[in-house]
Amino acid sequence: MKQQSEMILIGGGLIGLSLAVELKLRGATVTVLSRNQQEAAGLVAAGMLAPQAEQIPSGPMLDLCLRSRALYNDWTRKLEEMTGLETGYWPCGILAPVYERPDCTTLPQTPETPSYWLERDAILHQQPGLGNDVVGGWWFPQDAQVDNRRGLIKTLQTAAQELGVTIIEGITVEKIVTSPDQKVTEVQTNQGIFRADHYILTTGAWSGELLSIPVYPRKGQMLSVRVPDDFKSLPLQQVLFGSNIYIVPRRDGLIVIGATSEPVGFTTGLTPQGVETLLSDAIRLYPILKEFPIQEFWWGFRPETPDLFPILGPSSWDNLTLAVGHYRNGILLAPVTAQLIANWVLNAQSDPLLHHFRSDRFQTLR
């Protein structure tokens, strides 16, 4: 079987679908080759949009994250209008409680990135029920969340299909074939050979299996609980971003708790230690959770790079572009990745910010 397409995206997770929709809206012909979307990091993450709560240092990564956060409202609204579905975007803000008072309680900020230190009485007023060990914390009103598992992924899938993107699920790319003149000539799969004018790699934690690029899996275990029916209102109205734990409430009463961070390769499955750590850390931060019924456990693999920055832009081959290695920020960076990579692929427009995320910053890249 031989197929011809203007653009082939290798990888059908959140980044691949976001980019496919963007390219299609700009008039490209797009085929997405997806091995197993259920494995995608974008389907198992908590959906936090938290560049400030993460306290990413000033520099290109923070600039990239803040730019993407600023796109989220319009981006999700456009997707919802296209499909009639809900993405679950909620600009609820993020509260970051701490157990030890820092020496400095002032963080760098601009009018677009306000942050507020709250002493214990103030943080308990903002969020009643926090644990006894909490001494204070920061309030980041511009940080947000999106329901990636039940909302955003489905909305992107529907938008791509309605726009005419060809999505082939259950297909494994076995080899990217290149020529001496620095071109990709085809991709070989378990369903035949596919050819295109341009190829984009969006394979997340599995990217290093296809190309010699430094992207590695970092396993995370997660779980969810639900607010009992006898609660008259939701006890959490913002995300709690604690020490090695985050608690993300949805508007329908589901609460997502995550996540472990384990350098164990592609080792699958839950572990007693991982689950126990999540539960104990979450209950310490917000004790009432011990009374809430557990709904689900799951795990996934973040795509980690040596400097924890994504790899975006050109590769060693003229017609292969990279959009991988988003690590903890794939959900947050989806709209800006789609925008910047589409500009590069379709118009050869390289945003100055892209320079900091090129693959050639790693000398090990071949």
pLDDT, mean of residues 232-248:
96
Residue 363 pLDDT > 90, yes or no? no
Average pLDDT over residues 356-366: 78
Work out the number of other CB atoms within 10 angstroms of the CB of residue 303. 26
pLDDT tier at 365 (50, 70, 90 boundaries)? very low
Q: In this structure, what are the phi and psi dihedrals at residue 287, rounded to the nearest 5 degrees?
A: -55, -30
pLDDT tens string 86-134: 999 999 999 999 999 999 999 988 889 999 999 999 999 999 999 999 9
Q: pLDDT at position 364, please?
A: 47
Please compute the mean of the pLDDT values over residues 222-235 and round it to a whole number.
96
Q: What pLDDT does 4 receive? A: 52
Res. 42 pLDDT band, cuts 50 70 90: confident
pLDDT at 274 over 70: yes
179 CB burial (10 A radius; 0-12, 13-18, 19+): exposed
What are 309-326's pLDDT values in tens digits?
999 999 999 999 999 999
pLDDT score for 108: 87
Q: What is the pLDDT of residue 366?
A: 42
pLDDT the model gives residue 5: 62
User: In the structure encoding, which two tokens stand for residue 64, read together?
Assistant: 């990239």
**Mean pLDDT score across all residues of the chain:** 95
In this predicted structure, what is the pLDDT of residue 1? 42
Query: Which residue pairs, CB below 8 angstroms and at least 24 apart, start in 340-349?
Result: 340/312, 340/313, 341/19, 341/22, 341/200, 341/312, 341/313, 342/19, 342/22, 342/23, 342/26, 344/313, 344/314, 345/7, 345/23, 345/198, 345/200, 345/321, 346/23, 346/26, 346/28
Among the ranges given (2-16, 130-144, 171-185, 225-239), the one the predictor scored with the smallest mean pLDDT: 2-16
